[in-house]
Structure 1
Amino acid sequence: MTWEEMSDFFFISTTGRPIYNASNDLNRLHQKYKLDPVTSQTARRVFETATKTMTDSEKSMVADYLTHSTATADRHYRMKLSRNVVVASKLLSKLAGDSSNESAEEGTSRGARAAARDTGSNRQMDVQTALALLLQTHPVTLDGDMPDRAARCQVSETFQRQLYERWLKAQMRLRVQHVLSHFGRREPTESGVSSWIKKQGWKNNIPSAASILKDWKPTGPVDTVVDSSHIKTLITTQKWRGLVVTDIAGKGKGVCTSRPFQSGEVVCDYHGQVVRAKEGTRIHHSLDENETGYMFFYRNKKNKQMCIDAHSPECLCHPGRQTFGRLINHSRKRANVKPRLYVVDIDGEEQDVILFFAENNIKVGKELKFDYGVERKSFRGEGLDLDWL
């Protein structure tokens, strides 16, 4: 076949030969890339539907331009004039949202609105297009109000109900994520979640505290844990939930769980007075033998040797309350929590805090243990650089 003969074909195969049935190739293209099938009939119906606001002559010109039959085209004299071909092409560009006479925003809105009105085989695609159009003027926000019926109908009368439901679902997902990010890596109580949600002032589309807790999992990277106001509150109040102090055979006191903890969840902290390592060593040597196991030596973010002194059963800042971290026993092979150092801004003052994370899912009634690392210069673990006595 000569190049002159091949010029009548729009698609050329990989071997350079002409393709006689472009529709089959388009179908294979859609299947390969998992695209919704869009036929010429569908495109024609969308554009013809969008011409409702045009004059009769413009409607006729668009219909003639979109004709799919050579025999049919021959009956329409308008398309025999090159000028009319150009005019009809511009009209279609205008409907598709590419108009030189309108702003880009107006053109996009008109094209998206036309697609949203289609009720044919591509219904799902049209709902998504209509939703995208609605979000241009009514974006989903935490505190935003649902677009009223008039606003939804202006986009698409056919899909206004679907737009209503999808907008609410999108806002619900946003609000649930907002709640989860507040509590981060520490599971809250249902009453705590309910109380915090009420403070947001949401009047409708309010997430359920029970449903949030049902699917709760630790969220966010461990580096941002102390950004959570919930965690900061627990550090300052020492009201860690789900832990009990109990007697452990052969070990004395220990800490057990009274609720399950998920892997990666913050369990508690090692609470005490932060002093220089030299002062911690002096205190350590001055204590009785039964008090010497409550000193946590570490290297701070400025590479200085420090110590958390927790030898006293009750700290000065929390009289009458026994803290948990100091009573967690040692185990190298069966450790189920690991420590990590953070610098926390509390009341405008930076403080070193050691938080314990669950290394795996911990069931109710299990004793908490972590590796003291007594025989090593540093505690090896993810992001940890803690020196032990």
Structure 2
Amino acid sequence: MFYIRVVYKLDPVTYQTARRIFETATKDLTDQEKSLVADYLTHSTATADEHYRMKQSRNVVLASKLLKKLAGDSSADSAEEGPSCSARGAARDAALASNQQMDVQAAFDQLLRTHPVTLDGDIPDKTARSQTSGRFQRQLYDRWLKAQMRMRVRHVLSHFGRRQPTESRVDAWIRNQGWKSNVPSAASVLKDWRPVGSVDTAVDSSHIQELIHNQKWKGLVVMDIAGKGKGVCATRQFQAGEVVCDYHGPVVTATEGQRIHSSTKEEESGYMFFFRNSHKSECACHPGIQPFGRLINHSHKKANLRPRLYSPAVGGQDVILLLALNRINVGEELLSVVINVM
């Protein structure tokens, strides 16, 4: 203002006068543009905080451009000078958001050094979070909870390994963990369920070991199959890589298997791993139970199961698990490939 008075010898103009002039000049603008100019010309920082508070930096740029245009600056209309105000403002907003995300992540990393996320731990209280970052303490709260939730969901899934449990079973197992808050629901755990863990350690799952022991495999039903006799069909969907059931019976070498097969009557061949359906299907260790694995037919071209032999590291009995080759739909017959598993 002093520069204007001395060089150009003009009368001094107060801020209020300039503001009224520009507000009067906006009479032909849209309501949105008028609002931008009004926000730009707020009386003070306190007034802006209370009444206006432009949350997006591009609004400042747009308002400045409008004021230049009202003052007769033709450069405000030039589109050849570079990206549009909206584009520049959007880029600036994105940069600010990115920087804030980096700041939040840095604060979260610092919080984890003193309050690591654990399965059974309690979330750091507000005092601890504020000591790390008063500005981002709420974001730290949300991130810590989400990280613990992901950890707990993985923990639940790892218990059941490569076999999908029922929702009631998951719910009961979660309740037994004793978690009081930030508890995953069984429905959310099973929503996008997929087999977890290595196929090499599938038999290590306590859930699968229990099923091998009691032979209470769910999602399967024995049916009469046209031209085949007995067979097994799915009553629920199975995911690729999921353990469908096990084959219960003695495991021998391929040579021994051929010898037994050639000397065994057809009606007794059910004691072999692959067999025809006219047979006795009970196993010695589960009298009175008809294991599903012993009734599954085989196929060279339409197989949807593959057998996998698991031998215990120390002692115990070998186990053959039947894993889904691909997704198996409800009503689909289970068919195993014919390969040597010895």
For the criterion TM > 0.5, the same-fold answer is yes
Residue of structure 2 in register with 1:330 after alignment = 298
The C-alpha deviation readout for 1:158-186, integer Å capped at 9, x for no partner, is 11111111100000001111111111111
The C-alpha deviation readout for 1:125-149, integer Å capped at 9, x for no partner, is 1111111111110000111110011
Residue of structure 2 in register with 1:136 after alignment = 113
Between the aligned partners of 1:163 and 1:121, the Cα distance in structure 2 is 16
RMSD, aligned CA: 2.4
| TM-score between both structures, scaled by the size of structure 2 | 0.66
Between the aligned partners of 1:266 and 1:337, the Cα distance in structure 2 is 9
In the TM superposition, residue 320 of structure 1 has moved relative to its aligned partner by 2.2
Higher-helix-fraction structure: 2
Residue of structure 1 in register with 2:317 after alignment = 351
- Which residue, 224, 246, 270 being the options, matches 2:223? 246
The C-alpha deviation readout for 1:183-208, integer Å capped at 9, x for no partner, is 11110011111111122221111111
Between the aligned partners of 2:301 and 2:258, the Cα distance in structure 1 is 28
In the TM superposition, residue 315 of structure 1 has moved relative to its aligned partner by 2.1
Mark the runs of 5 or more structure 2 residues left unpaired by the alignment.
Answer: 1-95
Between the aligned partners of 1:156 and 1:316, the Cα distance in structure 2 is 65
Contact 1:330 1:369 in 2 (8 A): yes
| TM-score between both structures, scaled by the size of structure 1 | 0.58
Which structure's CA Rg is the greater one? 2
Mark the runs of 5 or more structure 1 residues left unpaired by the alignment.
Answer: 1-118, 298-310, 373-378, 380-384
Contact 1:226 1:344 in 2 (8 A): no
Higher-strand-fraction structure: 1
Between the aligned partners of 1:179 and 1:197, the Cα distance in structure 2 is 7
Q: CA 1:230–1:344 in structure 2 vs 1: closer, same or farther (change >3 Å)?
A: farther
The C-alpha deviation readout for 1:351-389, integer Å capped at 9, x for no partner, is 2111111111111001111123xxxxxx3xxxxx526xx
Identical-pair percentage: 67
Structure 1 SS opposite 2:289: coil
How many correspondences in the alignment? 243
Contact 1:179 1:197 in 2 (8 A): yes
Residue of structure 1 in register with 2:246 after alignment = 269
Q: CA 1:120–1:323 in structure 2 vs 1: closer, same or farther (change >3 Å)?
A: closer
In the TM superposition, residue 279 of structure 1 has moved relative to its aligned partner by 7.3
Q: CA 1:251–1:134 in structure 2 vs 1: closer, same or farther (change >3 Å)?
A: same
Is 1:237 aligned with 2:192? no
The C-alpha deviation readout for 1:246-287, integer Å capped at 9, x for no partner, is 111111100111111111111111102446778767765665
Residue of structure 1 in register with 2:200 after alignment = 223
Between the aligned partners of 2:257 and 2:102, the Cα distance in structure 1 is 67
Contact 2:309 2:318 in 1 (8 A): yes
